[in-house]
A and B are shown apart, each in its own frame.
Chain A
């Protein structure tokens, strides 16, 4: 599979939290190749890999399908769209930011910004309640096509950067979705240590809500949350970050299973897969937090793809890391 093509297609298909249908539909079409029974269940994409055998523990591979964005709260009489945020948005980058409003049809627009003569040069950061979208449509035209509750995403295309790095607006967590797809492709029909179910869950950015119900539905013994984490770039604290291009970040945390973390480290070492260690001191802010305490509990770990500029239209990843993440997951599941 052409990872760059898959990541690009996934990242350019909209799926703000709560409105994941388009992105989930595309992810489902990819997943069906490996999980013929895959379907969208309560919004989440769920598919069983191969034929599950009796007696094997059930392992879930989870990546979230939603992305941060905005939601329409009102259309003003002057023809502007008032908005609120879906997930943690960096409001510093809102002024003049191109967006796409997903109404009855997709409408391009831009977030309004005040020119310097009105701010006197010294302005604060735009408050969410002061933000508005300019679409070039009149209030009447807007009311026909846009309703409160419609979602809005950044209007941005993926771009190839130097080497194997790419940028796009929803690398978090479409690159995790791609890593899982790649792992399933690598597994082929090899004998496995676990029965495997893939889940692309909704509403992670709003509090991991999709994973809560998917975890309950599937009831796994083991779960790997395949998400993104902070990659070092200028200004970040190097001690709190991974690095682009140096492989998946394996989590260690009181809330995660030491057994699975250690087993992932061993798998990486035995298969000469480069990896990085991500130490956390409690919850992980990923879907792992849901799986670990689902029903009577699951052994859970995080496998994270390093990413720069998280929750912005210019997220940056290295495709090499997605590839290595897929390799690590496949090696972990495959019977030696």
Chain B
């Protein structure tokens, strides 16, 4: 599954531009499902089981990743740009990027530190003070390679850290996509819908539309969520920990999760002797926020892998967490039909 995750992470697909990711997923799942692409670009897959259940289950993950968009070309040939999804300018400055359909190499630069005042050096960067430099000599030269509206992607190799950690862009939420692709290849007792959503990072937009059309009774959202178990952070501020297994939260900024499903997840984990943790702060949000209030309401749970440095080019996750999360969801997606 980690090989699959690597391929998924290396695909470029910022919000509104998920086609490369979608095409890759279709190739991987077309033989095990019926699928369609909705008007916004979400991929809706139906896997036939031995039985058609009374209640409908939808499992969802999002295909899009955070990135940037070119807003203008400056006279000196550098590009002004803005974020797509929530990206801290501090994780943008000093990175390599790829720009546009031709994936032109560029870098995000700023005024050299030598030429900043003492006060400026202590002030975090803002996007208006940063530039993408593709090496163009001037505006006319730059126009040969790029146009305003071009998508900008982090350019970063998928790297193994130690024995079972990985460092990559887009782990949020290609980890969810990878787990779903694998789940779809199982024998299914019950019919199940699998939805790969667009535009999560700019406000949970694809999942609202796809949930409306799928009309599920239950939903399991597979995600990557912020782990802050880093140097200098202690206690509940860590939120969740790498190596601690799947993260099942009771509440975040967008959703209060279904209490019965929450208990079922922990019960299933304990039955399988899998590590499982909850989030120790109410923070963040994901597609569950749009799904659980779709139509007349959907009983929803989110199962996430813990991930450090989310929304950067160098997010870090633990491969054992991904495996353990997969195994939990595998069982949970069967037991949910017993409710």
Contact = CB atoms under 8 A, between A and B. Distances in A.
- Name the prevailing secondary structure of the B interface residues: loop
21 contacts: A80-B231, A90-B93, A95-B312, A96-B90, A97-B314, A98-B313, A108-B167, A115-B228, A116-B88, A118-B233, A132-B230, A136-B316, A159-B107, A160-B105, A161-B134, A165-B135, A234-B131, A309-B94, A310-B112, A314-B94, A314-B133
B167 A161 contact: no
B114 A163 contact: no
B106 to A, nearest CB: 7
Contacts of B156: 98
Given A97-B314, A308-B133, A316-B135, A112 B231 contact: yes
Nearest to A117: B283
Nearest to A235: B111
B74 interface: yes
Contacts of A160: 105
A121 B248 CA distance: 25
Interface residues of B, number: 69
Nearest to B131: A234
Interface in A137-191: 137-138, 141, 156-157, 159-163, 165-167
A234 B109 CA distance: 9
Given A96-B91, A98-B159, 18 more contacts: A88-B114, A93-B93, A95-B91, A96-B313, A109-B167, A110-B309, A113-B90, A114-B233, A115-B239, A117-B283, A125-B122, A134-B161, A159-B105, A161-B135, A230-B115, A237-B115, A311-B113, A312-B93
Nearest to B166: A136
Interface in A64-91: 76, 78, 80, 82, 88-91
A310 B114 contact: yes
A17 interface: no
Interface residues of A, number: 64
Contacts of A114: 228, 230, 233
A132 B78 CA distance: 32
B305 to A, nearest CB: 15
Given A110-B167, A113-B312, A92 B231 contact: no
A236 interface: yes
Contact of B94 (A78, A97, A165, A237): A97
Interface in B137-172: 137, 141-142, 144-145, 155-157, 159-165, 167
Given A93-B90, A112-B230, A314-B107, A124 B122 contact: yes
Nearest to B164: A136
A96 B314 contact: yes
Interface of B: 74, 76, 78, 86, 88, 90-91, 93-96, 104-115, 121-125, 129, 131, 133-137, 141-142, 144-145, 155-157, 159-165, 167, 226, 228, 230-233, 237, 239, 281, 283-284, 308-310, 312-316
Contacts of A94: 90
Given A125-B124, A311-B114, A163 B137 contact: yes
For A89, A234, A311, the residue with the greatest tally of chain B CB atoms inside 10 Å of its CB is A234
A30 B80 CA distance: 40
A236 B237 contact: no
For B157, B163, B231, B315, the residue with the greatest tally of chain A CB atoms inside 10 Å of its CB is B231
A313 interface: yes
A235 B167 contact: no
A137 B283 CA distance: 27
Contact of B109 (A98, A136, A162, A316): A316
B38 to A, nearest CB: 31
B124 A159 contact: no
A166 B237 CA distance: 42
Nearest to B133: A316
A233 interface: yes
B78 A234 contact: yes
B115 A90 contact: no
The 6 A-B pairs at the shortest CB distance, nearest first, are namely A161-B135, A136-B161, A136-B165, A136-B162, A93-B94, A165-B135
A325 interface: no
A110 B160 CA distance: 12
Nearest to B111: A235
A230 B114 contact: yes
Contact of B112 (A82, A132, A244, A309): A309
Contacts of B157: 157
B312 A232 contact: no
Contact of A235 (B104, B110, B163, B314): B110
A234 B74 contact: yes
Contacts of B159: 98, 108
Nearest to B94: A93
Contacts of A109: 161, 167
Contacts of B239: 115, 117
Interface string A13-49: 0000000000000000000000000000000000000
A244 B96 CA distance: 19
A240 interface: yes
A8 interface: no
